[in-house]
């Protein structure tokens, strides 16, 4: 149960910095997505409204056609009753076509309305998924910057205590490689200076022993030498593992 928490903490090395820039990324992308979503939603609304108007016009045309059919039949019954059956068949065929056209238009209207609903649901789901993805990406990306800074701060604290042996390196994909290389070059220079000073100190201790200097002075010089040698030794144990992030 403790592993996910440690994993989260390892990625949030500097929560204030990482969450700030992640929020900037999220806000910018969501503004763009919101603008696109509004355009898409309006387009879907226009399509649905056009389909509704088409259905209304089709229904009105069907009602007018039915009324005209009734008037036409009445006129035929008055002028030529023997043509009434032919007229009825023609009007029935016309009504059948009008009904079929109306049903087809209503079906298309229902499809457009359903598509409009699906688009809105898709936009909502995509927005939530994108939000979560952006948060995760923002934290991971900023971790690639904060991680090296966090490591360098720790290593600088170690160097400030006189420990100049740095064996750690950045992970593959981390940023600030040039800065870390500059830091390593600094430690190389400090070690070279430390070795030169250690060599000078060795000579001083040798001359002090040859000149029968006081034991206190020689002991003090040897303590100083031990401290300088300690700074040039590799760190033992696991106090400073290769990857501590």
Question: Do the Cβ atoms of 209 and 183 come closer than 8 Å?
Answer: no
Mean pLDDT of 104-108: 81
What does the pLDDT read at residue 25? 85
Structurally, the chain folds into a number of domains equal to 2
Mean pLDDT of 206-224: 85
Q: pLDDT tens-digit profile of 138-154?
A: 888 888 888 888 888 88
Q: pLDDT tens-digit profile of 185-205?
A: 998 998 899 889 888 988 988
153 and 181 assigned to the same domain: no
What does the pLDDT read at residue 241? 37
In the chain, what are the helix, strand and coil shares in percent, each to the nearest 5?
A: 85, 0, 15
Chain mean pLDDT for the chain = 78
Kindly state the tokens that stand for 108.
């298309």
What does the pLDDT read at residue 208? 85
Single out the residue in 160, 179, 203 at which a domain terminates: 160
This prediction's pTM: 0.52
What does the pLDDT read at residue 78? 67
Alpha carbon distance 102, 55 (integer Å): 7
What does the pLDDT read at residue 239? 40
187 and 147 assigned to the same domain: no
96 and 206 assigned to the same domain: no
Q: pLDDT tens-digit profile of 31-40?
A: 888 888 888 8
Question: Do the Cβ atoms of 243 and 148 come closer than 8 Å?
Answer: no
Mean pLDDT of 98-105: 78
Single out the residue in 110, 137, 160 at which a domain terminates: 160
227 and 181 assigned to the same domain: yes
173 and 153 assigned to the same domain: no
**Local confidence band at 6 (pLDDT 50, 70, 90 cut-offs):** very low
Single out the residue in 133, 160, 187 at which a domain terminates: 160
209 and 241 assigned to the same domain: yes
What does the pLDDT read at residue 87? 64
By three-state DSSP, how is residue 164 classified? coil
Kindly state the tokens that stand for 140.
């991971």
By three-state DSSP, how is residue 16 classified? helix
What does the pLDDT read at residue 77? 66
């Amino acid at each position: 149960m403790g592993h996910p928490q440690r994993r989260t903490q390892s990625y949030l090395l500097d929560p204030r910095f990482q969450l700030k820039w992640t929020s900037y990324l999220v806000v910018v992308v969501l503004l763009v997505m919101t603008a696109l979503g509004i355009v898409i939603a309006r387009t879907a609304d226009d399509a649905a409204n056009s389909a509704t108007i088409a259905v209304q016009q089709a229904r009105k045309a069907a009602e007018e056609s039915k009324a005209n059919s009734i008037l036409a039949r009445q006129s035929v019954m008055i002028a030529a009753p023997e043509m009434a059956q032919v007229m009825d068949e023609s009007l029935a065929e016309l009504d059948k076509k009008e009904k079929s056209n109306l049903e087809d238009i209503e079906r298309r209207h229902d499809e457009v309305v359903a598509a409009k609903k699906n688009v809105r649901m898709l936009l909502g789901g995509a927005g939530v998924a994108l939000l979560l993805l952006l948060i995760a990406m923002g934290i991971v990306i900023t971790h690639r910057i904060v991680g090296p800074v966090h490591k360098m701060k720790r290593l600088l604290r170690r160097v400030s205590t006189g420990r100049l042996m740095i064996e750690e390196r950045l992970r593959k994909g981390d940023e600030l490689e040039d800065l870390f290389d500059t830091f390593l070059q600094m430690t190389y220079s400090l070690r070279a200076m430390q070795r030169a000073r250690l060599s000078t100190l060795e000579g001083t201790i040798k001359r002090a022993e040859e000149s029968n200097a006081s034991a206190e002075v020689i002991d003090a010089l040897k303590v100083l030498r031990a401290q300088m040698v300690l700074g040039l030794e590799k760190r033992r144990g696991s106090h400073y593992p290769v990857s501590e992030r």
